[in-house]
Each structure stands twice: as structure tokens, then as C-alpha cells.
């Protein structure tokens, strides 16, 4: 029988460790004889990144907007659902096919790290420059934590239809 221990980890089972921070870690393997452990028999050093997960919508449709006009604003929350801090993060950016048709109105994320269960908000609006479907991507990259993208879509309308009432009624 063997006992496994490691600092800075939550033991999931006898042989699986989930580390809360990145970098080099040492796992000590101790031989157990009956109920009392003996001296450590070996130490294993592992290096890696903590598990991170992002939670954000896949695509947001801003609907139909007249070309040259602004849509309503939409809030996007970058949420770290992992067990470790996302570090080395870039500020959120717009990319993809038509990034100029969208703008970041406010950015509470910047290049800040994002703690486990933490979130930050980015507010975006659409302002189509041409008719038809216009798309872009809102993206944030962290060196520890990876990349998260969410799609943006707006339909540019080149004409606006108005209804005209003459005020007359017809009796039958």
C-alpha cells in the first residue's frame, strides 16, 4: 500500500491531484506497512497548468439595425469556472469578419487576472456599416487559462419602412 501527498492540492482520489496554481509541484509517495507509514520512498515532480474553464454565450444577435445607427448595448461576462486564476490576460478585443461594425463601450476586464469563480464585464454595441449580416468575435486571451471567444451578429438594414395613415375610415 502507498499514501500520496502533495502541497497546494485538493486530493480527488488516492492518485489524482488537482493543483490550485501552475508550475512545478512535488507529489510524495510513502510506503504504508499496515497502519503506520514508513519513510518516503520516492518523490515525483510534475509541471503543468491548472484547469480553467470559461463561461460565456456562444453567439449574440443584436437584431436588425439601420446602417449608420447604434444598437442597444449588450453585457458580456467572462466567468472563470475553473479552480485556478487565469493569468497573463489580454484586454478583450473585437476580431473576425466585421469588427468595425461593433464597439466595446465599457471594459471592466482590461488585462487583469481572473480569480476562480470570478467574472468581469464588457459592454458592446453594434453599428452596422453596410446592409446584410455583419459578424465579429469578442475575444480574450490568457496565457494561463486559454482563449475564449463569443460570436457577435447584427443585420444592417439599408431602408426603413414607415407606415402612413391617412386618417380616413370607410363605412360599409
Residue-wise pLDDT for 11-59, tens only, equals 444 555 555 555 666 666 555 555 454 454 455 555 555 444 555 667 8
How many whole angstroms separate alpha carbon 8 and alpha carbon 115?
A: 16
**Radius of gyration (C-alpha) of the chain in whole angstroms:** 27
Written as tens digits, the pLDDT of the chain (172 aa) is 455 555 555 544 455 555 555 566 666 655 555 545 445 445 555 555 544 455 566 788 999 999 999 999 999 888 887 778 889 999 999 999 999 999 999 999 999 998 888 889 999 999 999 999 999 999 998 888 888 888 999 999 997 666 555 655 555 4
The answer to whether the pTM exceeds 0.75 is no
**What's the half-sphere exposure (Cβ side, CA atoms, 13 Å) at 51?**
8
pLDDT the model gives residue 86: 87
By the 8 A CB rule, do 49 and 22 touch? yes
Phi, psi of 161 (to 5 degrees): -95, 130
List strands edge to edge, sheet with 23-33: 2-6, 23-33, 36-48
Amino acid at each position: 500500500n502507498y499514501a500520496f501527498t502533495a502541497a497546494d492540492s485538493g486530493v480527488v482520489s488516492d492518485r489524482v491531484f488537482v493543483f490550485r496554481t501552475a508550475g512545478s509541484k512535488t507529489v510524495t509517495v510513502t510506503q504504508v506497512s499496515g497502519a503506520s507509514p514508513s519513510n518516503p520512498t520516492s518523490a515525483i515532480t510534475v509541471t503543468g497548468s491548472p484547469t480553467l474553464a470559461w463561461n460565456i454565450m456562444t453567439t449574440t444577435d443584436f437584431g436588425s439595425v439601420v446602417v449608420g445607427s447604434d444598437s442597444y448595448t449588450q453585457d458580456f461576462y467572462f466567468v472563470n469556472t475553473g479552480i485556478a486564476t487565469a493569468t497573463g490576460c489580454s484586454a478583450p478585443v473585437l476580431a473576425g469578419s466585421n469588427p468595425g461594425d461593433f464597439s466595446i463601450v465599457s471594459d471592466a476586464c482590461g488585462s487583469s487576472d481572473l480569480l476562480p469563480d470570478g467574472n468581469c464585464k464588457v459592454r458592446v454595441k453594434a453599428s452596422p456599416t453596410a446592409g446584410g449580416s455583419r459578424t465579429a468575435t469578442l475575444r480574450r486571451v490568457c496565457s494561463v487559462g486559454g482563449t475564449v471567444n463569443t460570436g457577435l451578429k447584427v443585420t444592417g438594414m439599408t431602408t426603413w419602412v414607415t407606415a402612413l395613415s391617412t386618417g380616413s375610415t370607410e363605412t360599409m
